[in-house]
A and B are shown apart, each in its own frame.
Chain A
Amino acid sequence: MKLRRIAVAVMLAVAAALIVALTTGATTGPAHVHVLGSGTASAAKSVCGLGTGKKATGSPIKLGAIATKQPGTDFTDIPNTAAAYFNCVNANGGINGHRIQYFIQTEQTDPAQDAAAAKKLIQTDRVVGMVGSTSIIECSINHKYYEQLHVYEIAAGIAPECYGKGDTNIASVNMGPRYSSDGATQYVIRQGVDKIAFDQSNVPGTGYISAGPNAVAKAAKIPIQDFTDTVPLQDANSVALKLVQAAGQNGGVVLNFTPDQALLILQAAQKQGLVDRVKAWACSTPCNSDFVASALGSAWDGKLGVNAELNLPSAAGPDSTLYRQIASKIKLAFGLGSFSQMGFVQARIATAALLNMKPPYTLARVGQAFAGVRNFHTDILCSPWYFGKVNVHIPNNTDRTVTPSNGKMAVKEGCFKVSAADPDIAAARAVEKKNPQLNTGKPYPVK
């Protein structure tokens, strides 16, 4: 009995510890989005939608998203930031009085789950457009379904179908892992490396992704060795050693992982004194996060080139300023960074498209509005974004290189064109040349 009493006492102590943890910031409560983004839009100021400061009360316009959330891969910052922007739009007059109702589904790289999520969103929830999706396989699984039902999706893509390969209903605001890895590979080549070790998480589509960096390296006549590692990483020390050995003293290492997993490899390299054992380190866009910069500390300042598909989270432009205001209202898995920027940009484009169309907001009409977006300007992207009715959708094909600096990311290289040695990029440039209205001329109106 005495032991039982001790057990009860210990249980109470553990419960008390949990309550302490609960009340000290370990938890995330529901996102509290305050009324912001109101006022008159100008060249120096961006607002949420109409910026009226009045809450929309009209019938909802339903939009949906599907995002991967599994151990080692969490993309929910993207739709969560899109949701925060839509909340801001709803607090500022909505879409001419109509509020945006946003549905987010998460998946674990399960094709059946992805297909079911799309069917639920479209057939049960009755969404009229997809915005904010980021999934390892969602585009591949659902693109035919979207085409059949004339559903259009503004995404942050990963799979080839997110960029128009075999599909014309999806366009992405980001470059995705392949083209961002192209940019990171270009960076290490510019550093004068004589060999490249390219490593990425072992998820579906690795062959498609590595084809890009391989094409870029081949064009530069530099040997490249491909690796994949299962995430979450259990032996980051060994992975870092492997990559440094493969690259060699004058080589470069290019990583394509989510921020937390890339961080493990970079920290392991630092702990083992491997940072200066190769000529250059680079990372695809997920590393463009202050979370990574601050966790790495000063040892990596200027030594890691991160391909940034989007502007620095701390940039001074009007959209960047609004993005920070909105993102600061929600709990982000990886802090301010490219993932949340992608969600913001997608939601902003979708909102502009909805404001530029007339009701009714049916699936077919909203799809046409999304497809009609062209020459959309934002200071978060290097070049104007477009959807358009074209068979290749890689509108984001010009980007920057950033690097850690005093716990933040700083620009290392200004906007540069991703290499057309990657045949996909070459195809996108050909489309742009043939359809100059996509990214030149009068900017797309943002009310």
Chain B
Amino acid sequence: MWPSLVDFKPYIVTGLALGGVYALSGVGIVVLYRATGVLNLAFGAIGAMGALISWTLINHHPAFPEWASYLVCILFGGAVTFVYGLVFGPPLAGRDPLVKAVGTLGLTLILLGLMSYLWPPIGRTMTLPTSKPDFSYHLGFADVDITMTEIIGLAFGVVVTFGIAAFLRLTKLGTAMRALADDREITATLGVPVRRVEAAAWLGSGLLAGAAGLLLSDLVGLDPVNLTFLVISSLAAALIARLRSLVATLFAGLAVGLCTALLTPITAWPSEANYQFSLSSYRGGAPFVIAIVTLLFLARRRVVSVSRTDA
């Protein structure tokens, strides 16, 4: 049995909120890729570790201001990514994009190991102040409550996307980043301080990783493994945008979040007798299916290109 339109409405809200954060993460990944050629697979792990540090500060250091704990999460993301970029960016600059991506996979594994050691898998919850009952609003059209965190998740994704797009277009540093994306060698010969520009990209991407980790720890749960591998949904969004367009990444992120959520109520189709054969039980694969279908569609029109030219 196919659900009614009314049944779908609440999932639009949950899907958009999650999609907004996927978009935010996707934009962070694309910005870094465009400027440095590195597909940062550690994006989720960095955010997860930042969120765990925040959790520790909040729960074990009551004197430490709560707002500062959240700031630490974001700064941690920026610091770790910045340092990684400075230490490993230059030696890997001339290598194949696959080698660069595998480098970040190494960082992911190190961070996962550290998290496993420092924060054994006990039950932890992160409830941001914006998720408390005072910041809960009823959405009449969907007949469901929404928290300020979910609103921020969506709004932040949109604001960051257009903010970074404007930054890349209107500022000198942004122009340098765009130039790097086109041709690193020529950009360098034009006198652009390549390493500084790349460092700025690493830092910006890391700050976004921290912010996304903080939001997702509330929206999805404070589980390091789960948060680490949520990067897959964001990667799907980035791939759909061919690792180029920030606005396309935004819409792809929202589409991934929406599709995953909207599949949830389809619990009795195509099989009414067995839930395990319903669309709902396969919703976890939605990001990949969307990415594959989109890339195949674009390939049909011969416009797929996810490579870049490096020096």
Contact = CB atoms under 8 A, between A and B. Distances in A.
B75 to A, nearest CB: 9
B138 A273 contact: yes
Q: How large is the interface on A (under 10, 10 to 19, 20 to 34, 35 or more residues)?
A: 35 or more
B10 interface: yes
B303 interface: no
Contacts of B196: 3
Interface in B62-106: 72, 76, 79-80, 82-83, 86-87
Interface in A10-37: 10-11, 13-14, 17-18, 21-22, 24-28
A27 B118 CA distance: 5
A157 to B, nearest CB: 22
B129 interface: no
Interface stretch (B34-42, B179-187, B220-228): B220-228
A334 B125 contact: no
B29 to A, nearest CB: 18
Interface string A172-203: 00000000000000000000000000000010
Contacts of B123: 259-260, 263, 291-292, 295, 333-335
A21 B146 CA distance: 33
A39 interface: no
A241 B60 CA distance: 33
A40 interface: no
Contacts of B17: 237
A299 to B, nearest CB: 8
A11 B88 CA distance: 13
A299 B61 CA distance: 26
A127 B120 CA distance: 28
Given A21-B56, A267-B125, A28 B120 contact: yes
A235 B220 contact: yes
A7 B261 contact: no
A232 interface: yes
The prevalent SS among residues of B at the interface is helix
Q: How large is the interface on B (under 10, 10 to 19, 20 to 34, 35 or more residues)?
A: 35 or more
A144 to B, nearest CB: 28
A7 B219 CA distance: 32
A322 interface: no
Interface stretch (B168-176, B276-284, B288-296): B276-284
Contact of B261 (A18, A202, A235, A263): A235
B65 to A, nearest CB: 15
A442 interface: no
A14 B118 CA distance: 14
B190 interface: no
A225 interface: yes
B307 interface: no
A27 B117 contact: yes
A153 to B, nearest CB: 25
Interface in A233-290: 233-239, 241-242, 245-246, 259-260, 263-264, 267, 271-274
B60 A24 contact: yes
B260 A227 contact: no
B225 A232 contact: yes
Contacts of B249: none
A272 B10 contact: yes
B199 interface: yes
Contact of A245 (B7, B86, B145, B275): B7
A74 B52 CA distance: 19
Interface in B129-156: 131, 133, 136, 138, 144-147
Contacts of A235: 14, 18, 220, 260-261, 264, 283
Contacts of B11: 238, 241
Contact of A241 (B144, B219, B275): B144
A17 to B, nearest CB: 7
Nearest to A296: B125
Contact of B120 (A6, A227, A292, A331): A331
B177 interface: no
Given A242-B267, A271-B136, A3 B195 contact: yes
B149 to A, nearest CB: 9
B53 interface: yes
A236 B220 contact: yes
Contact of B14 (A6, A206, A241): A241
Contacts of B80: 14
A71 interface: yes
Nearest to A267: B125
A242 B14 contact: no
A301 interface: no
A8 to B, nearest CB: 9
B125 A241 contact: no
B79 A14 contact: yes
A202 B280 CA distance: 13
A271 B265 contact: no
A83 to B, nearest CB: 15
Contacts of B114: 18
B208 to A, nearest CB: 17
Nearest to B117: A27
Interface string B227-255: 00010010000000000000000000000
Q: Which of A230, A235, A246 has the most CB of B within 10 A?
A: A235
B5 interface: no
B119 interface: yes
Nearest to A334: B123
A125 interface: no
Contacts of B281: 202, 228
Contacts of A236: 220-221
B163 interface: no
A241 B10 contact: yes
A260 B219 CA distance: 14
Given A18-B118, A263-B123, A230 B145 contact: no
A398 B117 CA distance: 39
Contacts of B261: 235, 237-238
B113 interface: no
Contacts of A259: 123
Interface in A311-348: 331-335
Contacts of B136: 271, 273
B270 interface: no
B225 A242 contact: no
A154 B262 CA distance: 45
A331 to B, nearest CB: 7
A335 to B, nearest CB: 8
Contact of B275 (A74, A227, A234, A292): A227
7 contacts: A7-B87, A72-B226, A228-B275, A238-B264, A264-B221, A272-B10, A295-B125
Closest 4 CB pairs of A and B: A273-B145, A7-B86, A260-B123, A232-B226
Given A26-B119, A272-B10, A331-B122, 9 more contacts: A3-B195, A7-B86, A72-B226, A228-B276, A234-B220, A235-B18, A238-B15, A263-B125, A299-B133
